[in-house]
Amino acid sequence: MARTTLATVAVLFVAAAWPKEAGAQTDWKADSTFSVQLFEPVPGPGNFLSVNGTQIGGDFLITGGFLAHYQYQPFVLYRCEPGTGGTGEPACELESDPMASIIEHQVVSDFLFSVSFFKLFTVGLAFPVTFWQTGNQLNVDSGTSAGELPATIAPGDLRLHLKFRLFPFMEGDKEGFGLALEPVITAPLGHLVDDIPSAEEDRTGSFLGSGNVTAMGRLVADFYHDPFHIAAQVGYRWREEAEFYSRTIGHQLVYGGAFGWWPIPELEVLVEAFGWNGFTTQLDQSPVEIDAAVKYRFWGPLVLTAGGGRGIIGMGAPVARAFLGLAYEPPRETVVENPDRDGDTYLNENDGCPDDPEDFDQFLDEDGCSDPDNDNDGVLDVYDACPMVPEDIDGYEDEDGCEDLDHDKDGIPTPADQCPEQAEDFDAFRDEDGCPDLDNDEDTLPDEADVCPDDPEDMDGFQDDDGCPDPDNDMDGVPDLSDQCPDEPETLNGTADDDGCPDRGPTLVVVTATQIEIKQQINFVTDSDQIKGERSFDILNVVAAVLRANPQIRVEIQGHTDNRGSHEHNMDLSQRRAESVRRYLIEQGIAGERLEARGYGPDVPIEDNRTARGREKNRRVEFHILSSTGRDMGESMPAPPPEGGAGGAPEPPPPPGEGAGGAAESAMPSIAEDPGF
């Protein structure tokens, strides 16, 4: 059977094969559980790009940053037609046009972090994230494109780097040879993107990572002689095998070398070459790449990296690569050659006090000097209760060595406390000044004896000992300031009700703490919300006068009925009549937001509904004074009476002409125009 070979290449090829005839079946697999990313930046100080140096850095030295890189065509497939097999002839010949570009363009950023311990070893993390890529999934049977790769942002395999310095054992010399061992373990995060279910099972994945954990051990050697740095590394990577057509991607020999030069201390020019070999003579499994870059330390520990390169041959080696990165990396440690005279582990050249040992009290321990008074407040640390915080020397407990920010311990710092020796009383009145406020309203009555501690007594000779202002001594609804008879209540009868003086005639309205009580009923047209009768309007005019004289009052206008007729009808009728009263008061100049209308129907009787007089009393309008929050200042609505009382079961239908709003029923004896509710 005639056969062809499928070639997978980064720059040249990877060979594989499958039957060419239509409908032919193959046993080939196209496993995507491996990464074609050849460029793997290493975290930590003193490294190149993907090639390590042996520098560990100082104790607890932290570095971090990112290196973003773009690669073009790292993974392309070609058809390879079989040759004759003769001596000196190639096994197959590549076609000029690729069958599929699995990865055409790709942008990846490696996020790097490391921390050094005891100048002996470094722990580093490298987390690659693919932000953009284009290419094609591969049809396993045909080797042709099976659709575009997923465009989603996806992680690669997380890498854990551990680097141990072997020679010299303690890092100190800046120049000379170094030797280090670096184990690397990866977590298979990159393959997660391929776990998204697909309706087409013959497609490959995204080649972003391995299907399982991989491990690598790498030996690193370097030599540094200012201004040059050269390094080489070699290692072995263990990984689970993945079959890709005729290729098996398994364990690998990894290697790399690099050279760096500092023309000036802030600028490094470097070149590196790296690759791996799958323990085979097939060139596609021996990718190699060469990159060049510059690193510029433009400010303190901040280093900018820029460069590019290209692959030479093999899977994962791109036609072109460019990269740009930013890192936080403190400068390389200076030369230390002298011994440690004071024995505090700081070499003399780095020791601020080479003959005075560091006391290691977690204060400026890196300078090599003992610190008997860390906070420099004059109180020695052995006697200082707060050795890291200086005493403020303000004459208050200065001997304990602690800053006293709040002498009276009221939570307000002394610099902002107007009474630093007297605690604020926190009574919600000027609590920010730090002073106790014994008389908030400054009416000479102490708050503890003041019924209204935030409202000053008006000292008008009327109940001046309770601490509350009395704006209406005679409680007639006319404020004292406009009341011509402040100690005699107005007769609210519609005659000169705004002068505050009693008049002849019956009282229509009485103001209490909880209600504006009307002494006669407001009448309506039968089964209607239309107000009826001159006396009804007289009463409402008096109520409007009370509201105008007391702009602080808000009221709930309540409509009530007896229990005859349907409950739904009575609720609707009482609501409409309450709203009718509200509209009239608004027409008299009372602001609508001060008035709430609510119908209670037959639910709140005040008399027995089984008698005609009881039903008459229950058909009424009430004006309840509300607080600013909108609920009753006085008593809550009374509960319905027990069974058999005013709230008993409804009576049988009344005689003709007598109903919930029937015209045959009279209202209070003094008003005969309409029966009311």
pLDDT in tens, 17-70: 334 443 444 555 666 677 788 999 999 998 999 999 998 877 788 999 999 999
Residue 394, classified by CB atoms within 10 Å of its CB into exposed (0-12), middle (13-18) or buried (19+), is: middle
Strands (E) located in 83-201: 92-117, 121-138, 145-148, 154-155, 158-167, 176-187
136: left (phi over 0), alpha (psi -120 to 50) or beta: beta
**Separation of CA 59 from chain center:** 34
- Residue by residue, what is the 3-state secondary structure of 261-281? EEEECCEEEEEEEEEEECCCC
Identify which of 585, 597, 591 has the alpha carbon closest to the alpha carbon of residue 624.
Answer: 597
Tell me the C-alpha distance between 653 and 132, whole Å: 83
pLDDT of res. 377: 72
Tens of pLDDT, residue by residue over 94-153, are 666 777 788 899 999 999 999 998 888 999 999 999 999 888 877 666 666 667 776 678
Given pLDDT bands bounded at 50, 70 and 90, which one contains residue 93?
A: low
pLDDT of res. 661: 38
Tokens 């590196």: give the residue: 272
pLDDT(161) > 90: yes
| C-alpha count within 13 angstroms, C-beta hemisphere, residue 379 | 20
Tell me the C-alpha distance between 74 and 40, whole Å: 14
pLDDT of res. 44: 92
Q: Greater confidence, 32 or 536?
A: 536
pLDDT of res. 392: 66
Ranges 348-357, 362-371, 619-628: which has the least confidence: 362-371
Identify which of 50, 103, 41 has the alpha carbon closest to the alpha carbon of residue 72.
Answer: 103
- Type of residue at 124: G
Tell me the C-alpha distance between 430 and 450, whole Å: 17
pLDDT of res. 360: 76
pLDDT of res. 647: 43
- Residue 92 bridge partners (DSSP): 82
Strands (E) located in 404-500: none
Mean pLDDT confidence for 393-399: 69
pLDDT of res. 369: 82
Ranges 318-327, 373-382, 424-433, 490-499: which has the least confidence: 490-499
Average pLDDT, the chain: 77
Fold of 508-626: 60s Ribosomal Protein L30; Chain: A; (3.30.1330)
Q: Greater confidence, 443 or 578?
A: 578
DSSP line for 605-645: -SS-TTSHHHHHHHSEEEEEEE-TTSSBSSPPPPPPPPTTS
Residue 389, classified by CB atoms within 10 Å of its CB into exposed (0-12), middle (13-18) or buried (19+), is: middle
Given pLDDT bands bounded at 50, 70 and 90, which one contains residue 294?
A: very high
Element (H, E) at 244: strand 242-244
Two tokens, residue 38 = 């050849």
Tens of pLDDT, residue by residue over 598-625, are 999 999 999 999 998 999 899 999 999 9
- Type of residue at 283: L
CB atoms near residue 122 (< 10 Å): 27
Length of the chain as a residue count: 677
**295 close to 43: Cβ distance less than 8 angstroms:** no
Is there a common fold for 3-328 and 508-626?
A: no
CB atoms near residue 677 (< 10 Å): 28
Identify which of 559, 639, 637 has the alpha carbon closest to the alpha carbon of residue 599.
Answer: 559
Tell me the C-alpha distance between 298 and 266, whole Å: 7
∠ CA 386-392-393 to the nearest 5 degrees?
115
pLDDT of res. 1: 33
Tell me the C-alpha distance between 439 and 479, whole Å: 26
Q: Greater confidence, 597 or 355?
A: 597
Enumerate the domain spans of the chain: 3-328, 508-626
Tens of pLDDT, residue by residue over 311-354, are 998 888 899 999 999 999 988 654 334 467 777 777 877 777 88
Q: Greater confidence, 433 or 564?
A: 564
Two tokens, residue 230 = 């050269």
pLDDT(579) > 90: yes
Tens of pLDDT, residue by residue over 201-251, are 455 566 777 878 999 999 999 999 989 999 999 999 998 887 766 667 888
Given pLDDT bands bounded at 50, 70 and 90, which one contains residue 84?
A: low
R_g of the chain, CA atoms, integer Å: 47
pLDDT of res. 159: 96
Whole-number percent of the chain with pLDDT over 70: 68
Mean pLDDT confidence for 381-407: 71
Tens of pLDDT, residue by residue over 412-461, are 777 776 787 677 667 777 767 778 766 677 667 676 776 787 778 666 66
Q: Are strands 595-601 and 554-560 parallel, antiparallel or unpaired?
A: parallel
Mean pLDDT confidence for 273-297: 89
**648 close to 608: Cβ distance less than 8 angstroms:** yes
Fold of 3-328: Porin (2.40.160)
Identify which of 53, 37, 309 has the alpha carbon closest to the alpha carbon of residue 159.
Answer: 37
Q: Greater confidence, 261 or 3?
A: 261
Element (H, E) at 576: helix 567-587
Contacts of 639 (CB under 8 A, 6+ apart): none
CA dihedral 635, 641, 645, 646 (to 10 degrees): 60
